Amino acid sequence: MFKCCKSSVVKSEHCKDKLDLIETEKAIYFIKNYFQEALAKELNLLRVTAPLFIESGTGINDDLNGVEHPVEFSIKACGGCKAVIVHSLAKWKRLALAKYGMKPGEGLYTDMNAIRADEDLDAIHSIYVDQWDWERVITKEDRTIEFLKKMVNKIYNVIRSLELHVAKRYPETKAQLPLNITFIHTEELEKLYPDLTPKQREDEVCKKYGAVFLIGIGGNLKGGLPHDGRASDYDDWSTPTEKGFKGLNGDILVWNDVLKSAFEISSMGIRVDKTALECQLKLKGHEDRKKLLFHKMLLNDELPLSIGGGIGQSRLCMFLLRKKHIGEVQSSVWPHTMIEKLKKEDICLL
């Protein structure tokens, strides 16, 4: 059963948090404006308008881990054709790059709003997802781990700069990110902590370094399982890189001192080319997707090579404002039992 939280949600005097509801809303506004402008400048991105839903059966929607089901509905004006709420815009953005005729070094970003109805809800997961989705055209020569790291450093520097500005405005938040982000491959992480789960490995490495870019997510590790799931048709997780490792993608993770755990802020990567797409579709048993619009265009060289990712808006706000629950920085729907539990902990949901 779901229901809305009542009195404690609207009465900011019930909150133990030093930033009450009004100050929190002001801080969210500041963070979102600062970040998107700084990101666009750093990566040379144009802000574009993006869809909330797309036509079903085109292969454009993000499959995430391959098991989530999109919210679907019929459109009366289109003769009852089916549309699906986006999970993310990972593949739509690449189509947009081609449509806008963008060249290497140019790119776009947009506000992505999604509904992930199958999400397991907790302190950092909501059925409502808001993120900055970005994509940039690259050359064949850019499809390297060195170029990936260069882009990660640019994004991390924007995040760290923003943290310093937030700490100046709201001293109680205190800046904590290290000067540099540490790069480590999932294969190396498995070797370091062979007896731990992937999540436990993330906790250990983030606690040690403060900020980590974890490379190579989606392909099987030496132990036979992937560190985490990735769809077969956007990030390149199969191309070999240095040291024999595979993968040109990864996650930006930071140590969240409030939650005492690793905290994902961004998932990103160099996107599949024809070779990687063929390989990954076969590995995942998804070769039937070659007949879909997106996949046919990619295999026919009708889409540019690109790098891109998503940066969680609520995740970033939650981290920078030292919030305990994502519902403190976004408005969503939560189970009644969770609402009651959070009330007792004096956590104010928006």
- Across the range 221-240, mean pLDDT stands at 91
289 is catalytic: no
pLDDT of residue 6: 37
Q: Measured between alpha carbons, how far is 79 from 241 in angstroms, rounded to an integer?
A: 48
Out of 13-17, 55-59, 79-83, 323-327, give the one with best mean pLDDT.
Answer: 323-327
Q: Tokens standing for 232?
A: 């077969």
User: Could you tell me the CATH number of the domain that includes residue 274?
Assistant: 3.30.930.10
Respond yes or no: is residue 236 known to be catalytic.
Answer: no
Averaged pLDDT, 220-233? 90
pLDDT tens digits along 125-184: 988 889 999 999 999 999 999 999 999 999 999 999 999 999 999 999 999 999 999 999
Structure tokens at 176: 């904590």
Round to whole Å and give the CA distance between 86 and 63.
Answer: 9
Q: Which helix (H) or strand (E) holds 201?
A: helix 198-209
Q: Exactly one of 36, 88, 94, 116 is catalytic; which is it?
A: 116
CA distance 94 to 134: 10
The answer to whether 264 is a known catalytic residue is yes
Report percent pLDDT > 70 for the chain: 93
To the nearest whole percent, how much of the chain has pLDDT over 90? 63
Is residue 4 very low, low, confident or very high in pLDDT (cuts 50, 70, 90)?
very low
Catalytic residue among 17, 187, 264, 328: 264
pLDDT recorded at residue 63: 60
Could you say which of 36, 126, 266, 267 is catalytic?
267
Whether pLDDT at 91 is above 90: no
pLDDT given at position 11 = 38
Reference 214, options 175, 265, 164; nearest CA is: 265
Supply the pTM of this predicted model. 0.89
Q: What distance in Å separates the CA atoms of residue 323 and residue 24, rounded to the nearest whole number?
A: 10
Instruction: Dihedral sign for Cα 185, 190, 196, 197, please.
Output: positive
**What is the rounded distance in angstroms from the CA atom of residue 90 to the CA atom of residue 127?**
18
- Model confidence at 12: pLDDT above 80: no
pLDDT higher than 50, residue 10: no
pLDDT at 37 over 60: yes
The residue ranking higher by pLDDT, 243 or 317, is: 317
Residue 294 CA to residue 94 CA, distance in Å, equals: 9
Q: Is residue 3 part of a domain?
A: no
Give the model's pLDDT for residue 344. 84
| Residue 272 domain boundaries | 18-322
Which of these, 20, 162, 107, lies nearest to 304 by C-alpha position?
107
Catalytic residue among 131, 232, 280, 313: 131
Instruction: For residue 330, tell me if it sits in a domain.
Output: no
Q: How high is the pLDDT of residue 283?
A: 92
Catalytic residue among 8, 36, 62, 314: 62
**7 falls within a domain:** no
pLDDT, the chain, mean: 89
pLDDT recorded at residue 34: 97
Q: Give a yes or no: residue 138 inside a domain.
A: yes
Residue 73 counted as domain residue: yes
Task: Answer yes or no: is pLDDT of 14 > 70.
Answer: no
Cα 312 to Cα 43: distance, rounded to the nearest angstrom: 17
Which residue in 85, 42, 41, 43 sits closest to 60, CA to CA? 85
The one-letter code for the residue type at 295 is: H
The residue ranking higher by pLDDT, 233 or 81, is: 233
Question: Quick one: pLDDT band at residue 53, thresholds 50, 70, 90?
Answer: confident
DSSP 8-state code for residue 120? P
In a domain, 179, yes or no: yes
pLDDT digits (tens, 9 = 90+) for 251-274: 999 999 999 999 999 999 999 999
Examine the residue annotation and report whether 251 is marked as an active-site residue of this protein: yes
Strand partners, 133: 110, 310
Tokens of 345: 């902990």
Taking 3-state DSSP, the helix, strand and coil percentages for the chain, each rounded to the nearest 5, stand at 40, 20, 40
304, part of any domain? yes
Catalytic residue, candidates 235, 251, 273, 328: 251
| Number of domains the chain is built from | 1
The pLDDT value recorded for residue 114 is 85
What residues pair up with 350 in beta bridges, in sequence order? none
- The answer to whether the beta carbons of residues 228 and 219 sit under 8 Å apart is no
pLDDT digits (tens, 9 = 90+) for 288-332: 999 988 999 999 999 999 999 999 999 999 999 999 989 899 888
**Is residue 346 scored above 90 in pLDDT?**
no
Here the tokens at position 150 are: 């260069």
Number of neighbours of residue 62 by Cβ within 10 angstroms: 21
With CA atoms as reference, report the closest residue to 244 among 206, 293, 188, 292. Answer: 188
Token duo for residue 65: 């881990």
Asked if residue 156 belongs to a domain, the reply is yes
What are the angstrom distances between the C-alpha of 59 and each of 55, 97, 119, 211, 296?
9, 17, 21, 34, 10
| The pLDDT value given to residue 62 | 62
Residue 288 main-chain phi, psi, to 5 deg: -65, -15
Is residue 116 annotated as a catalytic residue, yes or no? Answer: yes
**Top-confidence range, 34-38, 65-69, 322-326:** 34-38
* DSSP track, 217-276: -SSB-TTSSBSS---SSSB--SSB-GGG-B-SEEEEEEEETTTTEEEEEEEEEEBP-HHH
